Amino acid sequence: MKKKKRTIIIVEDSIVIATHLTSILSEYVIHTFFNGMDALNSVKLINPDLILLDINLTPNSNNIQMNGHDVIKKLKKDNETKDIPIICITGELDTKKEIRALELGAIDYIRKPYNSIIVKLRVEVQMKLIEKNEEIKRLNTTDKLTGLPNRHCFDERIEAEWHRTERNEENLSMLMIDIDYFKEYNDTYGHLQGDRALKYTGKIIKNSLTRKVDYVARWGGEEFTVLLSHASYDGTFEVAERIRKNVERAFVLTKSGDKTKITVSIGAFLCNAPKHDLTIDKFITLADNALYQAKRTGKNKVIIFTDV
């Protein structure tokens, strides 16, 4: 699969230098800004992998002065931009300003007149570090067996979704999905076949979701969870029932090609917006209570609790 091109924002008030930097870094997607304010107004939309920043910048069209240090401060104070690496490129000879930029969070400092090869190599070094960090994050947030996000990743996602749906006054649903009689399945077919059942169930759940915003993770053991943003009761039931039926219809093949069957029980909680006194922990507990009810009353069914 072809790798996506990395993105760089260049903040440089010299058209000549900005054009030259764009030329020597042509393998990347480049966005150029000639003052700090315009760059800050666009950074979240662009979401760059790296920023090349001049320290001495001219005011914008509204005569608002913002130097490179000011830009770094703004970026580092915002949770959405604080982790974007910044390389300062400047003709400034004052060592104190260089130190200040690094103290504020810049990761490198290149003086003008610069050597094109050095600029390119230093950018390449940062891109390799970004790739390594992304791989480490992927390994830390992915369940090794199913390839789905793991519990740690889910905890981060539900925190973000919770606050987002609160701000937007949207409903939020959580499905708790448990494979029925999984211990008996393992005892009958062995743990390797149990692993196959887990992987296949995770794949079925993921393929049963039709919206990009829907989020599935492995909760642990034989349990999975799904978050449904701006959900309705009917929509929550439709997704849960689709997952249940798709699992019920499927066959999990053994190594020898024999067909085995599994089913799942699904509990869900749908909370309204605003969420008032409800907490994330209580939200999860109510979804788990619904799952317990589904398991206790016969399994292979969907139970939904709601405060809507």
Active site residues: 222
**How is residue 4 written in tokens?**
């996506």
The rounded distance, in Å, linking the Cα atoms of 276 and 299 is 32
Long-range contacts of 163-170 (CB under 8 A, 24+ apart): 164/229, 165/229, 165/230, 165/273, 165/275, 166/273, 166/274, 166/275, 168/230, 168/273, 169/273, 169/274, 170/229, 170/230, 170/273
DSSP per-residue codes, 283-300: HHHHHHHHHHHHHHTTSS
Q: Cα 244 from chain centroid?
A: 26
Task: Give, in order, the Cα–Cα distances in Å from 185 to each of 46, 112, 180, 254.
Answer: 49, 67, 9, 12
